[in-house]
Structure 1
Amino acid sequence: MKHKAVVLGANYYIGLSVIRCLGVNGVHVVAVDYSDKNTYGFYSKYCSETLVGPHYKKDPEAFLEFLIEYAKKQDNPPVLFPCADPYVEFLDKYLSVLRKYFLIPQTEENLYTKLMNKDTLRDLAIKHDVLVPETLTTDDENLIEKVEEIIKYPCLVKPVDSHAFVAKFRKKLFKVYNKEELISSIKLANKENIEVIVQRIIPGFDDHMYTFDAYLNQDAKITHWVTCQKMRQYPINFGASVYTQQKYVPELYEIGSRFLEGVKFKGFAEIEFKKDSNTGKYYLIEVNVRTTNLNNLLYKVGINMPYIAYMELTGSPLSPKAITSDKNLVFWYAYEDFLAVKGYIKTKQLTLLQVIKSYFRPKAYAIWDYNDPQPFIVFLRSLLDKISGKLFK
């Protein structure tokens, strides 16, 4: 392997899964983060180098220079893997510069941002005949009346830029039940200069959430794909996957391929859909343009997305492949799933018996790996320190 792989973000299990997916195939993996404190991805046996650089947000210019200087020292341009939304935003901002020194699947500037931004994503979905939940912007005339007539209560107040919203409010959105809560939520977001939209809630429990995970080559054609069904999320109802099964849903390929190939996307993308429990129709909720939380599940069922990208970008593309049967495997992020289960039981959305029954299945773990245990040990140690700190307070 002549080209190194540079993984941006090693303090979360997404980066760890990318490190493992590449390292297990003999790729020289360089893990980059802004701190080595509790950065458990650094401890993977598949990590060949670790680098601590400037903070991507506090000093992006310094971080850019840091990456360029590293790339200049290599005999061959490294392949770049951003493993969190802020890293994707950074990459998109400096894409034209970074492409001179790194191998990156995306060639169109600002496409990552267009797909991450809820406003532009909605416009692109409509353009390509993909259903999206009914949505209003906060500057729509007669907003309150339109919400009552079109959207109905309860409804969602969602950020256009998810990362900024989560960083401030520690949640992905506001669920509001009346006019007063709607006005209050919009004012709260405006006070922080965070743009929001108002959206209809698609009916259905969390197991009506599905994902279409795909890799598109440099011709913007899908070569690899798999579909999954969420079982539980955290925070409950409007959060990230914590217990998700691989589930073959051919309809999602029809919708997802039309959209991703239509916008000329290149590289890995994950579309999240929700199936309307009343109509059975699938609505596009959001698009992840970095490696998914479910990456280890995709790997375990036979689709190694990071390695697929690496091989194509270094001139040796792998044969196309899709998972067209159910493999009876689930992704499990135990720490947040236990928190989610508490919420589901408290709100009577699930019973304890239903939860217990769900655990008797083969699993693709978020952090634990029998062949690479050190990251889990580091994560567990930091978690116990965090818990003891709270108890001490």
Structure 2
Amino acid sequence: MKHKAKAVILGSNYFIGLSVIRCLGANGVYTVAMDYAKENTYASKSRYLKEQRIIPHYRHEEEAALRELIDYAERQEAKPVLFPCGDPYVEFVDRHLDVLRGYYLLNMTDQGFWSSVMDKAFLHKLAARHGVLVPETAHPSEPDFEATVADRIGFPCIVKPADSASFVSIFRVKMFKCFDLAELRASIAKAEEAGMDVVAQRIVPGFDDQMYTYDAYVNQSGKVTHWMTCRKLRQYPINFGASTFTRQQHVPELNAIGAPFLEAIGYRGFAEIEFKRDAGNGRFYLIEVNARTTTLNVLLRKCGINFPMLAYAELTGGEIGTNAVTRDTGIVFNYLYEDILSARAYIRAKQLSRGQVLRSYFVRQAPAIWSVRDPAPGFHFLLMLLRKAKRRLTG
């Protein structure tokens, strides 16, 4: 093992964790997955994972989970590097950052900052303060809220949460789409009943392929050292969902917007800014910031930048240099399981044709889960889907 410090990955029940395990393990890093249950942890089957540990649930037994993380780190020869691979894990780490920094190596330095950036209302105010365009937004607590929505935002609009992860866990959608005042009132009431803080926001015009990402690494000196841009082609659920089919595409304008913003707000580590290009005026609007490794990580690595390894190298004292992908590689990220559902929905909605979908697959791809060099997670994921299908059929 050429690297002394271990890497602790929180969450191996999704392909984000799998991509981090592969990015690090393939480079000789000792990888440890920590999960609250073994069920559906298909990423733990990777040949690049050295160890899996089951710890208390980060939400239901928070103090016990924190104690387990600390106990593990105390037994190590060197401070491990900690990688939260989902928004709930990011929030958990952020709440205890001041304590965990005594035992783990992490990019972020200020407790609460990650959570603030993930809060949509706070982020949009922050972006506007730094001259970054954001869609027109109004909070239900504002005076003349309904008049503002009707006159300045317009219908249809969306009602979106400050905390996306909790909202999705309750409602199984990322936001509510409202076509009139009655639907707006009903959506806000539904969210408030669930204890969710929400805002109303203008829908930036344009098809789903007008969604772009700016993926960047900000070093501990506060400078963007590595970056590339990507363009979504399909997402699920369609129109307001997560990426299922995304192509790397060089858009230098996004770096001109994204790099100064991340540096100005004091960000550290990996960040993915999602933008939407307004089909009417051609300008880019900031939608959200993902303050963790994202679903596109496998694509980013295949295009030439291993972001988890950058974080590991810098935090353990290595030199990382600079790099940017400033050409179109044509490589496409594909989460095939959800992309099949996505493609079917686009076709049924007459937003894409069967021919467009079929032609899109004949490109070089970066699959979310499948890997010839590491096939076990793919087989276990398929087995998991078959078990779920059997339960639905027999239940």
TM over 0.5: yes
| Identity, % of aligned positions | 53
Alignment of 1:212-251 (within 5 A): 212-251=214-253
**Aligned letter for 2:202?**
R
Mapping for residues 300-311 of structure 1, pairs under 5 Å: 300-311=302-313
Secondary structure, aligned partner of 1:287: strand
Provide the C-alpha distance between the structure 1 equivalents of 2:257 and 2:104, rounded to a whole number of angstroms: 32
Are 2:101 and 1:103 aligned?
no
1:1-393 to 2 correspondence within 5 Å?
Answer: 1-393=3-395
CA distance in 2, matches of 1:234, 1:21: 25
2 CA distance for matches of 1:183 and 1:318?
Answer: 50
Which string of whole-angstrom CA distances, capped at 9 and with x for unpartnered residues, describes residues 241-298 of structure 1? 1000000000000100011001110100000000000100000000000101000000
- Distance, in Å, in 2 between the alignment partners of 1:91 and 1:38 is 22
- What secondary structure is seen at the aligned counterpart in 2 of 1:264? coil
1:177-215: CA deviations, max 9, x gaps? 011111110111111111110000000000000000000
- What secondary structure sits across from 2:276 in the alignment? strand
For 1:264 and 1:187, the matched residues in 2 are separated by 36
User: Unaligned stretches of 5+ in structure 1?
Assistant: none
Please give the alpha-carbon distance, in whole angstroms, between the structure 2 residues aligned to 1:27 and 1:140: 50
The aligned amino acid for 1:288 is N
Aligned AA for 1:247? Answer: Q
**SS of equivalent to 1:228:** strand
**How far apart, in 2, do the equivalents of 1:60 and 1:128 lie?**
35
CA distance in 2, matches of 1:167, 1:4: 31
Pairwise CA RMSD: 0.6
State the TM-score, normalized to the length of structure 2: 0.99
| Alpha-carbon distance in structure 2 between the residues aligned to 1:353 and 1:116 | 38
CA distance in 1, matches of 2:12, 2:151: 46
Distance in 2, Cα, partners of 1:178 & 1:343: 24
How far does the alpha carbon of each residue in 1:46-69 deviate from its partner, in whole angstroms, 9 at most, with x for none? 001111100011111100000000
In 1: Cα distance, 2:132 partner to 2:205 partner: 18
CA distance in 1: counterparts of 2:224 and 2:13, whole angstroms: 30
Alpha-carbon distance in 2 for matches of 1:191, 1:233: 28
Q: What per-residue deviation string (whole Å, max 9, x for no partner) do you get for residues 311-343 of structure 1?
A: 000001222100000001000000000111111
CA displacement at 1:230 relative to structure 2: 0.2
Q: Distance in 2 between matches of 1:36 and 1:45?
A: 17
Amino acid at match of 1:56: Y
| Superposition deviation, residue 160 in structure 1 | 1.0
The one-letter amino acid paired with 2:128 is I
- What is the CA–CA distance in structure 1 between the aligned matches of 2:196 and 2:266, rounded to whole Å? 29
Matching residue's letter, 1:40 = Y
Quote the Cα distance in structure 2 between the aligned partners of 1:391 and 1:141.
Answer: 51
AA partner of residue 205 (structure 1): F
**3-state secondary structure, aligned to 1:268:** strand
Letter in 1 for 2:238: I
**1:354 partner amino acid:** Q
Alpha-carbon distance in 2 for matches of 1:354, 1:188 = 37
Distance 1:351 1:182 in 2: 32
SS of 1:167 mapped into structure 2: helix
> Offset at 1:365?
0.5
Unaligned runs of at least 5 residues, structure 2: none
Once the two structures are TM-superposed, the CA of residue 392 in structure 1 deviates from its matched residue by: 1.9
Partner letter of residue 266 of structure 1?
Answer: R
Q: Secondary structure at the match of 2:107?
A: coil
C-alpha distance in structure 1 between counterparts of 2:374 and 2:163, whole Å = 35
